[in-house]
Amino acid sequence: MRYRIALIRGDGIGPEQAEATLLVLSKLEELLGLELEVVDAEAGDGCMKKTGTPLPDETIRILKDSHACLKGPVGETAADVIVRLRQMFDLYANVRPARSLPNVPALKPNIDLVIVRENTEDLYKGYEWEFDGVAIGIRLITRRGCERVARYAFELARRRRRRVVAVHKANVMRITCGLFARTCREVSKDYPDVAYSEMYVDAAAMDLIRRPEQFDVIVTTNVFGDILSDESAQVVGGLGLAPAANIGDEYAIFEPVHGCAPDIAGKGIANPISMILSAAMMLEWLAARYSDARCLEASKLVNEAVVRTLEEGKVLTPDLGGRAKTIELGARIAGMMEEIRRA
């Protein structure tokens, strides 16, 4: 099968990371005969300057006409791009894995967790008003929103170590977090083979530092998940390695967790691994969506090549203690894929 991938290169370090990721994708075509048609779609601050809008209709059309989207970070207009796309395509689960990688200093060894964050509701819905020095924001939580993200988390746990912890603050936000906790508890009854527990968000933030290796799948609401996933990315060695997926029933967008890093943009030194691992997540999603074993093989190959490249430790960007450029690390990962296949 031939897949059409919409590519939003984004702002800041995004285009640099995209170039490195494209090396990996074309190597997959060469090694595995995967057919990927990458179609550029513009969005973000640069696009706003050029066209007057951060998310043109043409971009939406390209995404609607594609199998999946790979997206670089965007700058100031992030809310106008990704938050809108999440709502538009109903991408209700934001999946953010954090795992220990070789030669990357982490707080603890053997961390392998995934945060599944509800992606369309909560305070990020943007229902906010201000009158006479009083600001009000609405925290919108629905049973449907809670149930579908909870099911996603339990299904994921079944393919992992079979543990789900629901993170909330239902002792204070009794109605909104109460609905989330109650729904997760109900869904857990359909998964007797998965161990289920609950934790308050402040305790979870502490335990992500104190004993991160104990977590498997964390399911939580939008704002808590946003904050906890930046924390978990740092716990395993930094944002430059952190991939993410925005998943719906019909479509999905894959992107690094981090922003466009204006402090290092244009220098060609950003770590491309966050975007390369996002591409690996995309291949895994395509494999499941279209029952395509070749995509699964491709995803595994990319993951293994990243691990081996880090193990080798010869070509590393400055955030990993090396001196390599973004494109050089991308090329080394592509080369490693070839070595693995030939072995």
Return the active site residues. Answer: 124, 169, 202, 226, 230
d(CA 98, CA 210): 15
Q: Which is nearer to ligand ATP, 102 or 321 (CB)?
A: 321
Handedness of CA 281, 286, 289, 291 (dihedral sign): negative
Q: Which is nearer to ligand ATP, 12 or 212 (CB)?
A: 12
d(CA 210, CA 216): 15
CB of 289: closest distance to ligand ATP in angstroms?
27
Q: Which is nearer to ligand ATP, 220 or 274 (CB)?
A: 274
Residue 3 in 3-state DSSP? strand
CB of 198: closest distance to ligand ATP in angstroms?
28
d(CA 284, CA 277): 11
Q: Which is nearer to ligand ATP, 145 or 272 (CB)?
A: 272
Give the residue at shortest CB distance from ligand ATP.
Answer: 259
CB of 326: closest distance to ligand ATP in angstroms?
8
Residue 110 in 3-state DSSP? coil
E strands, the chain, are: 2-8, 35-40, 68-71, 93-99, 112-118, 128-131, 134-137, 163-168, 195-200, 217-220, 243-247, 252-256
Q: Which is nearer to ligand ATP, 20 or 287 (CB)?
A: 20
Q: How far is CA 57 from CA 54, 85, 246, 291, in A?
A: 10, 12, 20, 31
- Angle 316-82-65 (CA atoms, 0-180°, nearest 5)? 100
CB of 97: closest distance to ligand ATP in angstroms?
16
Residues engaged in binding ligand ATP (CB under 6 A): 13, 78, 239-240, 258-261, 263-264, 270-271, 274, 319
Closest by CA to 95, choosing from 284, 272, 308, 250, is 284
Q: Which is nearer to ligand ATP, 242 or 295 (CB)?
A: 242
- Give one word for 117, left, alpha or beta, with left for phi > 0 and alpha for psi -120 to 50: beta
**β-bridge partners, 117:** 94, 220
Q: How many CB atoms lie within 10 A of CB 342?
A: 7
- How many CA atoms within 13 Å lie on the side-chain side of 220? 25
CB of 296: closest distance to ligand ATP in angstroms?
26
Q: Which is nearer to ligand ATP, 82 or 184 (CB)?
A: 82
CB of 272: closest distance to ligand ATP in angstroms?
7
CB of 54: closest distance to ligand ATP in angstroms?
14
Q: How many residues does the structure list for the chain?
A: 343
